[in-house]
Structure 1
């Protein structure tokens, strides 16, 4: 089957197409040298279906004549393979530099926490195992993890960025670590006056009182049930 003009364009410039697709803004371009080194691909052939075809597609060397169904599976494998390679690449010096540039450009967005004053964030995975959780964003200022603000990122696998990337980047560029000596904290107040600690204690007591009431009701219900059984 001959490839259509759109297919050939996609094959010739596959990485450009992938990076330009909506929802893939968090990814950086992987160098050809990294993709050509077999050592960097160690173990990936057991994790990706149509591994060699998918790698050839990524490297613009795809020449396999196949039907539409097989082509779709290879395309899906190529996207997954690129993500797995990406997780390894961004831990290298070159990969860290590229992600640093995106970080400085604000490509990953800002922290949704008001007190962080729109501090830039980094993508992070909650697991290094694929298909475990979608990508999240990490803020070094408050040291917390959030869902990305746009729904299109919900389909991106967190394993394509890994659990270590943000911390390795800040270790490589320690001058980027924000000052946390006096972190801004939101202080609850009423009419400009800070809420007294007794108010917090009263709220805690109310919660505990409700928990105790619920436990007593459950105990009484169990006692009535036992009596009926007897």
Structure 2
């Protein structure tokens, strides 16, 4: 679908038009009041050169016109407007209204499913592995195996900072009913060493990937059982060495006894030779 046709199909505001793009399916519509609030703009305004113009573009009640695509100035402001909206979106989804919207979309499977076969098409949650723009693209987090994967849907234009690293854990803690109940059957190789955090802090009782924890448990069992095996092998070796020493000692005793016996036999002949010499 071309961008020109998308404009005509979304005569509403810029936000509705922007979120209706095929690559923007993970995004939800942020309230105008939330965007206007200066408190929510703290820490964002200083990162952009056309912040005020971009905010005005975001709050436009109508979608862009066709001739706007030929305006270099519009495209330049549009790039900043996209990132500004994304950073505000990352804050909006942590509100009660925003998280409720994302919860419903998660339950409907709007963000896709886990590619791992044993997760049985578990719904996934969008996540960004970095809070900074232009650092990492959007990923998806599976609450079942607690791993991070590349999304199957086209999201090439979505920056990971539009959601942030803490959102999946926040959503699961806000709505405990979203936690899946299952028995883990690990079968895949770990590609990402993911550590769940909330606002930069590690979560108590969360150790990261459940598949990785399974592998660590196998390694731990190997470490625990290895000294036992080594101890048994050492005892067997010591017993063999002890038996060898006993056999060696017995052989030496037999040789000594044989030598003494031979010496005792030679002594009478010597005495007779001495007597003959005296005569």
Same fold (TM over 0.5): yes
Larger radius of gyration: 2
Q: Distance in 2 between matches of 1:162 and 1:155?
A: 15
- Give yes or no for the alignment of 1:160 onto 2:158: no
Select the residue among 46, 70, 74 that pairs with 2:77. 74
Q: TM-score, normalization: structure 2?
A: 0.59
Question: For residues 82-108 of structure 1, what are the alpha-carbon distances to aligned partners after superposition, in whole Å with 9 as ceiling and x for unaligned?
Answer: 101001111111110111111011110
Name structure 1 gaps, 5 residues minimum. 1-5, 188-196, 202-230
Q: Name the structure 1 match of 2:29.
A: 29
Q: TM-score, normalization: structure 1?
A: 0.71
Q: How many residues align?
A: 179
Tell whether the 8 Å contact from 1:11 to 1:57 is kept in structure 2 after alignment. Answer: no
Distance 1:9 1:55, change over 3 A: farther
Distance 1:46 1:177, change over 3 A: same
Q: 1:45: how far off?
A: 1.2
- Give yes or no for the alignment of 1:101 onto 2:137: no
Q: Distance in 2 between matches of 1:14 and 1:68?
A: 17
Distance 1:57 1:178, change over 3 A: same
Q: Name the structure 2 match of 1:140.
A: 143
Superposition map of 1:186-205 within 5 A = 186=187
Question: For residues 13-49 of structure 1, what are the alpha-carbon distances to aligned partners after superposition, in whole Å with 9 as ceiling and x for unaligned?
Answer: 1011101111000001101221121101112111123
- Cα RMSD of the aligned pairs, angstroms, is 2.6
Q: Name the structure 1 match of 2:186.
A: 185
Tell whether the 8 Å contact from 1:148 to 1:154 is kept in structure 2 after alignment. Answer: no
Name structure 2 gaps, 5 residues minimum. 1-5, 63-67, 189-217, 223-279
Q: Distance in 1 between matches of 2:186 and 2:83?
A: 40
Distance 1:10 1:69, change over 3 A: farther
Q: Distance in 1 between matches of 2:17 and 2:7?
A: 11
Q: Distance in 2 between matches of 1:7 and 1:136?
A: 28
Q: 1:79: how far off?
A: 0.8
